[in-house]
């Protein structure tokens, strides 16, 4: 009996893969490197494993390719594989990438594998004419399956349909995972109804002999990449930052639109600098100077005494504003305010999250190795 990827094994690989925070369903070499090096295999072996796993040669590993890399590593560690093969074994080739393997082997004059009789339906007889159209009849069927496993928020977990996957004899586990990754590019734990219907449609098409596509139409890509609503108060989504023009600011500007005096000075409202106090002081100073200049240029009338009083008051206010502006100018120039502190804290949190993700990956690797050894003992 040929070896294969077990379901428990794929689930464990998924935990490690999602813990490394893939981008658009893929992991860069930088993110995968800590996990590979934790195996303590030689760099030459790890390089060979990467070459075998990166089937599409894009410098990144999707989930299927990541599973290949992990299985090769454990086979070498456990002694199941004495040496790495020259090319990928047939049983490790995902059905969705078999055409790439055959094309690469043909270009490199390598022997093109012949699918075994057990794999004819999975590899050899698949069609590329995938149809994204969902008929009303199919949609009704998909909605019935969706409603059977949805949670109270209308979302679906991958494991919720485990029994359903077993009713698809022509769809291997690797293709089920590939379809899930297509509709769930951000690797969330759950998907919504739109994603679920397309996921079921991909499985239906695969059951009918069509190859799982490598990507989704642009119209669906934006839908599948949207943020998942998080109803927890401890979620990062609860920490909504205040925009520069909040609701109250907008409302105040609307109700205060007509005033008795229009400002003819320079408008600094578009200034995005953090030194708002200095901006406001300069603006008030310019307004005061304009008022004084206007008062001095006015013709003398019987109200000269009142004008003199007003001029004196404005002069005193001008002197006060100038002193206030001068005091601010003497403040330390290097102080950037609380924004620097916030930025520093954010960087520290990001660094700690990266360390935590790496440690989680190491723990998952150890758990997987323990499970593998237990299976061997059995």
One digit per residue, the tens of pLDDT, for the chain of length 378 reads: 457 777 788 888 888 988 888 888 889 888 888 888 888 888 888 888 888 888 888 889 998 889 988 988 888 887 777 778 877 777 778 777 766 766 665 555 444 444 443 444 455 578 888 888 898 888 999 999 999 888 888 999 988 888 888 888 888 888 888 888 888 887 788 899 999 999 999 999 998 888 888 888 877 877 777 665 554 445 444 444 444 333 334 333 443 444 444 444 444 344 444 445 555 566 677 777 777 777 666 655 545 556 666 667 777 777 777 777 777 666 555 555 566 667 777 777 777 777 777 777 878 788 787 877 777 766
User: Same fold for the domain at 7-92+356-377 and the one at 136-227?
Assistant: yes
Architecture of domain 136-227: Orthogonal Bundle (1.10)
- Report the distance separating Cα 22 and Cα 186, nearest Å: 7
pTM of the model: 0.37
CATH code of 7-92+356-377, in short, is 1.10.238.10
Contact 163, 201 (CB under 8 A): no
**Extents of the domains making up the chain:** 7-92+356-377, 136-227, 275-334
- Report the distance separating Cα 224 and Cα 183, nearest Å: 6
What pLDDT score does 259 carry? 42
- Report the distance separating Cα 360 and Cα 219, nearest Å: 35
């Amino acid at each position: 009996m040929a070896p294969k990827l077990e379901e428990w094994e794929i689930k464990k690989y998924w935990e490690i893969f999602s813990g490394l925070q893939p981008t658009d369903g893929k992991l860069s070499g930088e993110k995968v490197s800590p996990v590979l090096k934790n195996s303590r295999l030689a760099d030459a072996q790890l390089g060979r494993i990467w070459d075998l796993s990166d089937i599409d040669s894009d410098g990144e590993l999707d989930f299927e390719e990541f599973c290949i890399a992990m299985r090769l590593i454990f086979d070498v560690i456990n002694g199941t594989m004495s040496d790495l093969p020259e090319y990928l074994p047939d049983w490790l080739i995902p059905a969705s990438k078999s055409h790439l393997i055959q094309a690469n082997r043909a270009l490199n004059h390598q022997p093109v594998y012949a699918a075994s009789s057990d794999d004819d339906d999975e590899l050899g007889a698949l069609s590329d004419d995938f149809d994204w159209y969902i008929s009303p009849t199919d949609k009704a069927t998909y909605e019935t399956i969706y409603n059977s496993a949805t949670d109270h928020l209308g979302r679906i977990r991958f494991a919720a349909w485990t029994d359903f996957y077993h009713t698809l004899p022509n769809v291997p586990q690797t293709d089920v995972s590939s379809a899930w990754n297509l509709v769930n590019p951000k690797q969330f734990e759950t998907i919504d109804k739109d994603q679920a219907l397309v996921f079921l449609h991909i499985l239906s098409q695969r059951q009918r002999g069509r190859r799982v596509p490598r990507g989704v139409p642009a119209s669906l890509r934006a839908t599948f990449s949207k943020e998942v609503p998080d109803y927890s108060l401890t979620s990062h989504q609860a920490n909504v930052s205040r925009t520069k023009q909040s609701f109250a600011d907008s409302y105040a500007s609307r109700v205060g639109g007509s005033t008795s005096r229009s400002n003819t000075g320079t408008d600094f409202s578009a200034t995005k600098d953090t030194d708002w106090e200095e901006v406001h002081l300069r603006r008030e100073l310019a307004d005061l100077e304009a008022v004084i200049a206007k008062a001095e240029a006015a013709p003398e009338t019987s109200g000269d005494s009142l004008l003199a009083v007003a001029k004196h008051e404005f002069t005193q206010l001008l002197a006060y504003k100038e002193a206030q502006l001068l005091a601010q100018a003497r403040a330390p120039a290097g102080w950037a305010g609380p924004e620097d502190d916030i930025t520093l804290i954010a960087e520290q949190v990001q660094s700690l999250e990266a360390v935590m993700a790496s440690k989680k990956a190491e723990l998952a690797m150890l758990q997987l190795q323990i499970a593998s050894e237990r299976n061997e003992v059995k």
